[in-house]
Amino acid sequence: MDQPSRVIVMKVGVHLSEPWRAIVERKLAEERAAGVAYWGYGGSVCHPLTQVQPFAEQGLPVAVLMIRTVSDFLGNSTPAVAESRDGRAWEPIPQGVTTSGRYALILRSLRETTEELDLGAYEVAIGPKDGTPLTSYLRGRVDKACARLASTPRGSDRLRVVLRADLVAPYAVVLQTT
């Protein structure tokens, strides 16, 4: 795999007991129908307004690299009905898009891959942990990061990437359920 200079790394897995293969097929169909895929997520890192959008605005391209996790989400989820780029003005979710979570990354050119990502080559690129090596940051419960190539690589920790996409404007949105 070429080492993109700017990435969003995200651990992904089964959601609401939907088989992994079905999730991938649904997202590929979503991109065909709507021109983009919305990858829903939650948590406290990679907030759309304070991290993802400012990170993307520092310079494109940003590759989204997804790593399969064995920790699957089996809780309840409600499909999003509206999205906001700024947390104030709301628009309906585009026709053909089905997503849930608090936020969503906006992706294009979603594709399966068998590439490997060397976490040791990257560091956190924005927020309170700016400069933290990805090898230590993506441990435990932290499951995503906006990252850049580190000026000094810190060891090697290779993980298999299962999906790759390009982050496209508006990069990430806040989602609203019913």
* C-alpha triplet 144, 6, 44: angle, nearest 5°: 25
Phi, psi angles (nearest 5°) of residue 177: -100, 180
pLDDT tier at 75, thresholds 50, 70, 90? low
Question: pLDDT at residue 82 above 60?
Answer: yes
Least confident of 19-23, 43-47, 67-71, 167-171: 67-71
Pick the more confident residue, 75 or 92. 92
pLDDT surpassing 70 at residue 71: no
Other CB atoms within 10 Å distance of the CB of residue 64: 25
Q: Per residue in 138-164, pLDDT tens? A: 987 889 999 999 988 887 889 999 999
> Which tokens hold the place of 86?
């700024």
The DSSP code for 100 is: B
Kindly provide the residue ranges of all beta strands, DSSP E only, lying in the chain, ordered along the sequence.
6-12, 37-41, 63-68, 82-84, 91-92, 103-112, 116-118, 122-124, 144-149, 158-160, 163-176
Q: Which residue has the higher pLDDT, 75 or 55?
A: 55
Burial-class residue 128 by CB neighbours within 10 Å (0-12, 13-18, 19+): exposed
Q: Give 21-54 pLDDT, tens digit per residue.
A: 889 999 999 999 999 999 999 888 999 999 999 9
Burial of residue 152, with CB atoms counted within 10 A of its CB: 0-12 exposed, 13-18 middle, 19 or more buried? exposed
Are residues 108 and 33 in contact, defined by beta-carbon separation less than 8 angstroms?
A: no
Cβ contact 65:10 at 8 Å: yes
The highest-confidence range among 50-54, 72-76, 77-81, by mean pLDDT, is 50-54
Distance CA 3, CA 148 (A): 10
